[in-house]
């Protein structure tokens, strides 16, 4: 017997007022999957090979967990069984994806961020957050957003603790362990897509490439100021109150902002010219 009458539309709307929609392939899959009973749904969810025609995309896992969560938390046995089975599959996939996407970090940090992301996913279901709509639109991108946001939060927390000399030493050690091989692909796309007016920049394309690879060795605040200036095209200060500037973002004077960018540039110059 089908468990759900029809596929529920998404609620979130874009900045321009357009509603978000699932991809056609997901809508088609959902239209077929809602007619399945609980045991078949579980069987399909456990199919691991993406090229198998019975494979259950992450977007669909999110949909069914959301739909059955309220009934599961009210103690309905079938709904609980579905939520448990599908959540375990979801977590297994998400853990592998998130952990793999953090392969440049030390193991402990990777595991910590991965665990935090899974708990954050749980919170979204628990609070019946409409943010889950984004996971039904594009599961991988939404998951990546969660990871980047988790890292952003950790970075902010680390900044607050940066007075701790042990912490700073650990960060420096991580930076020195950084491998810069295979950077070209990223740099190509950064330079092609991220710079609005490269001709206005002080650095040439190949300089940006080298600078990016060396940025990990630059002090956090100086590095941030350099990225704001050279990658996001931020001004040091502006008369436009709505424009984001380096001094506004870092809560410093224009002079300090200029000093930070200059210091980063000088540091990079030294690193470039020094032997390996």
Partner 1 sequence: MTTAQDTTMDLQSVLYEFRLENETVTPAALDTICRAYPHFAKDLTDFAIQWVLRDLALAGAPVETPIADAAVDAIVGLAMSDLQNRLYKREKEARSPVVLSSADEAEIRSRFKNIEMSPPIDRSIAASLQRKLVELETIPRRFLERLASAIKSDMPTLVAYLSSSSIVGGMRNYRADSAPQAAARMSYQDLVERSTLSQEKKDDLLALND
- In the region spanning residues 226 to 245, those forming contacts with partner 1, defined by CB under 8 A, are 227-228, 231-234, 242-244
Beta-carbon neighbour count of residue 86 at 10 Å?
23
Measured distance CA(23)–CA(151) in Å, rounded: 28
Cβ density class 2-36: b for 16+ within 10 Å, e for less: ebeeebeebeeeeeeeeebebeeebeebbeebbeb
Q: Of 22-30, 38-46, 130-138, 266-274, which part binds partner 1 (CB under 8 A)?
A: 130-138
23 binds partner 1 (CB under 8 A): no
Measured distance CA(86)–CA(98) in Å, rounded: 18
Q: Please state the closest distance from residue 18 (CB atom) to partner 1, in A.
A: 10
205 binds partner 1 (CB under 8 A): no
Which residue, 53 or 157, is less far from partner 1 as judged by CB? Answer: 157
115 binds partner 1 (CB under 8 A): yes
Q: Please state the closest distance from residue 192 (CB atom) to partner 1, in A.
A: 9
Q: What is the torsion angle, in degrees rounded to the nearest 10, for the CA atoms of residue 100, residue 105, residue 109 and residue 113?
A: -40
**Close Cβ partners of 27 (under 8 Å, ≥ 6 residues apart):** 7, 21
Q: Please state the closest distance from residue 109 (CB atom) to partner 1, in A.
A: 12
Measured distance CA(133)–CA(12) in Å, rounded: 7
Largest separation between any pair of C-alpha atoms in the chain: 71
Which residue, 130 or 162, is less far from partner 1 as judged by CB? Answer: 130
Q: Strand, coil or helix: what is 241?
A: coil
First to last CA, the chain: 68
36 binds partner 1 (CB under 8 A): no
Q: Please state the closest distance from residue 102 (CB atom) to partner 1, in A.
A: 9
Q: Of 40-48, 160-168, 187-195, 256-264, which part binds partner 1 (CB under 8 A)?
A: 187-195
182 binds partner 1 (CB under 8 A): yes
Closest alpha carbon to 136 in 49, 275, 9, 272: 9
Here's the x/- map for partner 1, 141-170, by CB under 8 A: it reads as xx-xx-xxx-xx--xx--------------
Instruction: Please select the residue that binds partner 1; options are 28, 35, 180, 253, rule is CB under 8 A.
Output: 180
51 binds partner 1 (CB under 8 A): no
Q: Of 26-34, 35-43, 52-60, 182-190, which part binds partner 1 (CB under 8 A)?
A: 182-190
Q: Using only C-alpha atoms, what is the Rg of the chain?
A: 23
What are the structure tokens assigned to 241, written together? 């109150």
Q: Please state the closest distance from residue 256 (CB atom) to partner 1, in A.
A: 17
Q: Please state the closest distance from residue 263 (CB atom) to partner 1, in A.
A: 17
Q: Are 34 and 6 in contact (CB under 8 A)?
A: yes
Instruction: Please select the residue that binds partner 1; options are 25, 126, 170, 272, rule is CB under 8 A.
Output: 126
What are the structure tokens assigned to 159, written together? 């900044």
DSSP 8-state symbol, 192:
I
100 binds partner 1 (CB under 8 A): yes
39 binds partner 1 (CB under 8 A): no
Q: Are 158 and 224 in contact (CB under 8 A)?
A: no
Instruction: Please select the residue that binds partner 1; options are 8, 32, 39, 204, rule is CB under 8 A.
Output: 8
């Amino acid at each position: 017997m089908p468990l759900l009458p029809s596929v529920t539309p998404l609620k979130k709307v874009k900045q321009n007022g357009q509603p978000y929609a699932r991809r056609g392939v997901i809508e088609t899959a959902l239209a077929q999957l809602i007619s399945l009973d609980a045991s078949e749904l579980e069987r399909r969810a456990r199919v691991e090979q993406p090229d198998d025609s019975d494979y259950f995309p992450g977007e669909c896992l999110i949909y069914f967990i959301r739909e059955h969560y309220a009934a599961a938390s009210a103690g309905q046995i079938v709904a609980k069984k579905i939520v448990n089975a599908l959540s375990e599959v979801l977590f297994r996939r998400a853990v592998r994806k998130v952990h793999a996407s953090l392969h440049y970090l030390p193991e402990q940090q990777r595991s910590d961020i991965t665990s935090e992301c899974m708990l954050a996913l749980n919170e979204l279901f628990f609070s019946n957050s409409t943010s889950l709509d984004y996971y039904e639109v594009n599961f991988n991108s939404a998951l990546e957003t969660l990871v980047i946001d988790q890292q952003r939060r950790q970075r902010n927390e680390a900044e607050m603790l940066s007075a701790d000399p042990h912490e700073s030493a650990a960060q420096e050690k991580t930076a020195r362990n950084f491998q810069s091989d295979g950077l070209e692909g990223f740099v190509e796309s950064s330079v092609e897509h991220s710079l609005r007016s490269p001709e206005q920049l002080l650095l040439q394309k190949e300089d940006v490439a080298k600078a990016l690879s060396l940025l990990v060795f630059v002090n956090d605040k100086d590095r941030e100021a350099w990225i704001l200036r050279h990658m996001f095209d931020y001004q040091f200060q502006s008369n436009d109150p709505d424009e984001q500037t380096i001094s506004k973002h870092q809560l410093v004077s224009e002079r300090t902002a200029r000093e930070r960018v200059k210091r980063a540039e000088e540091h990079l110059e030294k690193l470039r010219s020094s032997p390996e």
